[in-house]
Amino acid sequence: MIELKNVTKQYEVGDQIIQVLKGISLKIRDGEFVGILGASGSGKSTLMHIIGLLDSPSEGQVLIDGKDASKLSDNELSKLRNHYVGFVFQQFNLINKYSVLENVLLPALYSKEKLPFDPTNRVLELLSKFGIYDRRNYRPNKISGGQQQRTAIARALIMNPKIILADEPTGNLDTKTGEDIMDLLKSLNKEFGLTVVIVTHEKNIAAKTKKQIFIRDGQIVKKYL
């Protein structure tokens, strides 16, 4: 379970202090399918970065399965993030000089530990499951947007994370392909019990999740306007 307690985040810009998050408290339980909905500038992406341990709060606590993230060393935090969270981004963040297979394999190659599975076999299994096995030797810029996002989701899953964080995962896709990607994320939650958190500004995308958290001006609100 992920729990945030009175989390704030602020940045100094020149002589100004910009308050991005203002006392966020929430719980995301294991196996939930959650949508974080907010307009541009609402703080939702900053919130996702804090949930995913990519950033730390200015004040407040982030608890991962009861562990206070602020009490962990950089090495412990990196290890936890690598094994606990898989990230999916709007821009896919694939590397064009590598093949689809190599892109999915990257997190395993970066791991400094001996893994309890064969990374290449796992990549091939994921590519087969997502219908892109025949694209394994292609470069990302030679496949469709939907296939690129499936590649990105496979990469997010390679380390067997407990949670998938998806930031605007349908933002660069047409409506039909976006629906297919949402169905894929929904199946990961339903069939495999993965916690899935989707950050979006689209009401229709958030509505496909089982629980919605509405963010406005850095705060959780009861409804989205």
Residues in the chain: 225
Q: Which CATH class is domain 31-57+72-221?
A: alpha beta
For the record, the structure tokens of 124 come out as 């091939």
How do the domains of the chain map onto residue ranges?
Answer: 31-57+72-221
For the record, the structure tokens of 206 come out as 């958030």
For the record, the structure tokens of 57 come out as 């709060």
Mean of the per-residue pLDDT values for the chain? Answer: 91
Convert the pLDDT of each residue in 76-119 to its tens digit.
Answer: 888 888 778 999 988 888 999 999 999 999 988 877 777 888 98
Convert the pLDDT of each residue in 20-63 to its tens digit.
Answer: 999 999 999 999 999 999 998 899 999 999 999 989 999 999 99
Q: Residue type for 106, please?
A: L
> What's the CA gap between 75 and 81, in Å, rounded?
10
Quote the distance between the C-alpha of residue 102 and its chain's center: 20
pTM score of the predicted model:
0.90
Residue 224, pLDDT above cutoff 70: no
DSSP state at residue 204: H
Kindly tell me the sign of the dihedral angle through the C-alpha atoms of 155, 117, 190, 78. Answer: negative
pLDDT of residue 171: 86
For the record, the structure tokens of 224 come out as 């989205």
Convert the pLDDT of each residue in 112-146 to its tens digit.
Answer: 777 888 989 999 999 999 999 999 999 999 999 99
